[in-house]
Amino acid sequence: LGSVPDSGLKLKKAFARFDGLEQLETELDLADLDDQTSMPEGCRCAEVLTGRLIPPECPLFDGACTPSSPVGPCMVSSEGSCAAYYLYER
């Protein structure tokens, strides 16, 4: 879906004792997260989740991507939009 510049959530200083990042003294590098959250090649989950595409319009649906062999995150969980479509609308 992309990221919104200068956005994000963080606990107020008064609640810092509940902040896992503060507790672990860990720096969160969003650039590293972007590397880890890129979509598998050909996966159209972003378009499915934003209503611009229905799962069968993805070229990998019911071919390379099935619930028993998912390519993208929308097919992994039984609650995923592609998996639900595969199970109930195919």
Verify binding: residue 21, ligand SF4, rule CB under 6 A. no
Query: Coil, strand, or helix at residue 83?
Result: helix
Near ligand SF4 in 33-72, by CB under 6 A: 43-45, 48, 55, 58, 60-61, 65, 71-72
Cβ neighbours of residue 45 under 8 Å, at least 6 residues apart? 39, 72, 73, 74, 81, 82
Cβ nearer to ligand SF4, comparing 8 with 75: 75
Verify binding: residue 28, ligand SF4, rule CB under 6 A. no
Q: CA nearest 19: which of 27, 8, 11?
A: 11
Kindly list the residues in this chain that would bind ligand SF4 in the complex (CB under 6 A). 43-45, 48, 55, 58, 60-61, 65, 71-72, 74-75, 82
